Amino acid sequence: MKPLTEIDGAPAPASPVVGIDQTAGNFSYKVDYAFDAGTGLSEDTIRYISSVKKEAPWILEFRLKALKTFWDKPMPTHWATKDLENIDFQKIRYYLSQGQKPKRTWDEVPDDIKKTFERLGIPEQERKFLAGVEAQFDSEAAYSNIKDIVAKQGVIFVNSTEGLREHPEIFKKFFGKVIPTGDNKFSALNSAVFSGGSFIYVPPGVKVAQPLQAYFRINAENFGQFERTLIIADEGSEVVYMEGCTAPKFSTSTLHSAVVELVALKGAKIQYITVQNWANNVFNLVTKRGVAHEDAEIKWIDCNIGSRLTMKYPGVVLKGERARGEVLSIALANDGQHQDTGAKMVHAANNTTSNIIAKSISVGQGRSTYRGVVHIPKHLKGCKNNTECDALLINTNSRTDTYPAISVRGDRNATQHEASVSKVSEDMIFYMQSRGLTEAQAMSLAVNGFINDLARQFPMEYSVELKRLIDLEMEGSVG
Amino acid sequence: MSLLEIKNLHISIGDKAIVKGFNLTIKPGEVHAIMGPNGTGKSTLAKAIAGHPSYTITGGDVILDGKSILAMQPDERARSGLFLAFQYPSEIPGVSIANFLRAAVQARMAEGEELDASGYYKKLYSKMDLLKIDRKFTSRAVNDGFSGGEKKRCEILQMAMLEPHFALMDETDSGLDIDALRIVADGVNTLRSGPLGILLITHYQRLLDYIVPDFVHVMYDGRIVKSGNKSLALELEAKGYDWVKQEFAAANA
């Protein structure tokens, strides 16, 4: 363990890499970290994190218990990829920050961190269309602000440390309840070392007009980012939350393992939108789940581009009558990437409905896997599920697998499932080329067409961003 | 002057020679019809000139405006002024005709130059009016679930928008009933009033009742064996292709 004063620098800016890694997020600036938990994982790591955050004793206890659960749980390689075994937990840095208190204005954010977010366009987006922004740099938020008009409505938008310390009466009740520590090995890891993320509370009846956004940036090499997000929408309230993620490309692997819990109380609506564009050395192992009470609605919109391995299956527990759950997901797996994504819908009350639309694109050696769980027990009636999963393959080496598990019991519920696999054929590319489009433009257009009906449901700014990311990926995939 | 010269062209698929010494020069404004029995290399000729990767050019040259196009990618050939109207156009799900054409027009512009959206739509709608195509048509995904007639109209609309110097029209009449055929032919006739040179590939004479060619060539065994004017097409209609085959056999005996 390093003393608090020791400063550890990030590597020099990465040189622009040609090909598929050439994305907007692939850069890093040298940053001096005031707080560093060192390399490797032990009880001491946990105690260090908890002490710099000045946490209440119950949180340290929660963390230490979670660490034990993490060590006890085996890697889920009996069903998941063996690539997980390549993660060396003792070579990862678990906590790096310049301080625990985010700045409220961009002017106060240290220059070395600010220039990263400016280059990613975050302050500009905030001015244009966001109700609040939190910008996390490695372990902690460097910037966090909510527009006055939203704060006056009683909306709380803080990071996890502040949420648990300043508003325990609101957050403690739901923290770790939607996703218990032992849900899976990586939710346990997150529970042990979590830092950053967003804690949001929307009071009854408040409809937040503009989206709240968090941006998660990994800057350091060999780093693990473990943000923890908890969103509580009280009765009849509405909120849209968007997160973006990037990291520079390093030769060593980086770990991102978040836990996101959503609670939509009676009649509330939560929409959670992710556009991740991780560099392809990132293991992205994220647990996301929401509980929808009576007449509530939770919608996950999940775009997974980049990363070495993503395992993510956003879920909704439909706990109250007439609750609705939806997962719309897009995954793009390029060479050397594996997108193992899907959705979980657990129906636990009558007349609940769920909808899953998953689209995956595999390019070159890229691999896509869809895993879905839909559970409707026998004693329920009037439940409906619709599942569609479509895969698009670009060139013959790509691979796609579908593992739907739909358990619908009883005869008073309905489900429908459709799956398709299509290919961007040589003839289709030739057709577009014969109109003057280059091969890369033709592929981009084919991919954009494939996801078009889904992308149209995204907020404008995000569908534009998604299109740009796809163009970049396709440019890199053609010789 | 714009000129498309096909010189002693030889084309193979794998090891199999399909086109064996094809010669033709097309000038602006000319319509050349290529007729012939199935399997004589008509469609191969059109696709190979457009640059389809499955076809290998083993000899000869294709020269557009004085420059050989054989080393060019299909998209470069298209941007140089060549257009292939497909016999079986591909479906592009999720991409509207308007967006597809917009991308194609944008691809013809210099790097950094931005397409003027209102100017683009103005031009698109004027071309649609000219071809009597309903405006709702362009919001549909390219060829996705189209009838045979709609697919061919979509090809003609693309041709009108991209304003090629030379169009290769591959079996434009296949799969069309007589009404659809008339609509498509009207479109081609509207466009041929300009400097556009057309190579019209067809198996049946009936298309030539609607699009009257300046020249008719009979293709057999990978090359042109007979050339003439419109009356040659009528003669073929009356006598059938066996007559050509016999003549060809006699000449080679």
| Separation CA B236–CA B17 (nearest Å) | 26
Instruction: State the nearest Cα–Cα gap between B81 and chain A, in angstroms.
Output: 9
Provide the pLDDT for residue A23: 52
Task: Tell me which residue of A18, A14, A52 sits closest to A220, measured CA to CA.
Answer: A14
CA B118 to chain centre: 29
Number of residues that this document lists for chain B: 253
Provide the pLDDT for residue A364: 83
A428–B94 C-beta distance less than 8 A? no
Residue with tokens 């433009």: A441
Contacts of B36 (CB under 8 A, 6+ apart): B42, B203, B218, B219, B220, B241, B244
Let me know: does B87 contact A444? Beta carbons within 8 Å: no
Contacts of A90 (CB under 8 A, 6+ apart): A39, A40, A41
Q: Which among A426, A428, A437 is the nearest to B104, CB-wise?
A: A437
Residues of B within 8 A of A433 (CB-CB) are 51, 73-75, 78
Predicted confidence (pLDDT) per residue in A442-465, tens digit: 998 999 999 988 888 777 777 777
Classify residue B250 by burial, with Cβ atoms within 10 Å: 0-12, 13-18, 19+.
Answer: exposed
Provide the pLDDT for residue A478: 63
| Separation CA A286–CA B86 (nearest Å) | 47
Provide the pLDDT for residue A476: 67
Provide the pLDDT for residue B1: 65
Provide the pLDDT for residue A397: 66
| Separation CA A117–CA A120 (nearest Å) | 5
A425–B104 C-beta distance less than 8 A? no
Provide the pLDDT for residue A24: 61
| Separation CA A241–CA A211 (nearest Å) | 5
Classify residue A459 by burial, with Cβ atoms within 10 Å: 0-12, 13-18, 19+.
Answer: middle
Residue with tokens 């032990």: A42
* Beta-strand relationship, B56-64 and B67-68: antiparallel
Looking at the structure of chain B, the number of domains it has is: 1
* Beta-strand relationship, A8-9 and A32-33: antiparallel
Q: Which among A430, A432, A442 is the nearest to B53, CB-wise?
A: A430
Range of the domain at B48: 4-89+164-252
CA Rg value for chain B: 18
Q: Which residues of chain B have pLDDT under 70?
A: 1, 253
Instruction: State the nearest Cα–Cα gap between A420 and chain B, in angstroms.
Output: 13
Domain assignment of residue B168, yes or no: yes
Q: What's the DSSP call for residue A14?
A: P
Contacts of B150 (CB under 8 A, 6+ apart): B137, B143
Spell out the domain ranges in chain A.
8-477
Q: Which among B53, B83, B95 is the nearest to A445, CB-wise?
A: B95
Let me know: does A61 contact A50? Beta carbons within 8 Å: no
Predicted confidence (pLDDT) per residue in B84-141, tens digit: 999 999 999 999 999 999 999 999 998 888 889 999 999 999 999 988 899 999 999 9
* Beta-strand relationship, A156-158 and A199-202: antiparallel
* Beta-strand relationship, A96-97 and A35-36: antiparallel
Provide the pLDDT for residue A411: 84
Q: Which among B54, B73, B158 is the nearest to A435, CB-wise?
A: B158
Residue with tokens 């040259």: B61
Let me know: does A408 contact A376? Beta carbons within 8 Å: yes
A427–B75 C-beta distance less than 8 A? no
Structure tokens at A431: 């057709």
Residues of A within 8 A of B95 (CB-CB) are 445-446, 448-449, 452
Q: B169 forms bridges with which residues in the sheet?
A: B85, B200
Let me know: does A354 contact A380? Beta carbons within 8 Å: no
Instruction: State the nearest Cα–Cα gap between A125 and chain B, in angstroms.
Output: 23
Q: Quote ipTM for the complex.
A: 0.96
Provide the pLDDT for residue A294: 98
Say which amino acid occupies A170: I
- What CATH number should be reported for the domain holding residue B222? 3.40.50.300
Structure tokens at A50: 């908890």
Q: Which residues of chain A have pLDDT under 70?
A: 1-24, 396-397, 476-479
First CA to last CA distance, chain B: 41
| Separation CA A325–CA B234 (nearest Å) | 67
Percent of residues in chain B assigned helix, strand, coil, to nearest 5: 40, 25, 35
Instruction: State the nearest Cα–Cα gap between B178 and chain A, in angstroms.
Output: 26
| Separation CA A406–CA B182 (nearest Å) | 52
Contacts of A318 (CB under 8 A, 6+ apart): A292, A324, A325, A345, A346, A347, A348, A349, A352, A353, A354, A383
B53–A432 C-beta distance less than 8 A? no
Domain assignment of residue B207, yes or no: yes
Domain assignment of residue B78, yes or no: yes
Measured between alpha carbons, how far is residue A408 from residues A238, A290, A342, A413, A414 in Å? 30, 20, 18, 7, 8
Residues of A within 8 A of B101 (CB-CB) are 435
Q: What is the full DSSP assignment across A295-341?
A: T-EEEEEEEEEE-SEEEE--EEEE-STT-EEEEEEEEEE-TT-EEEE
Instruction: State the nearest Cα–Cα gap between B55 and chain A, in angstroms.
Output: 12
Q: Which residues of chain B have a Cβ shorter than 8 Å from any chain A Cβ?
A: 50-54, 73-75, 77-79, 83-84, 86, 89-95, 99-101, 103-104, 107-108, 141, 158, 162
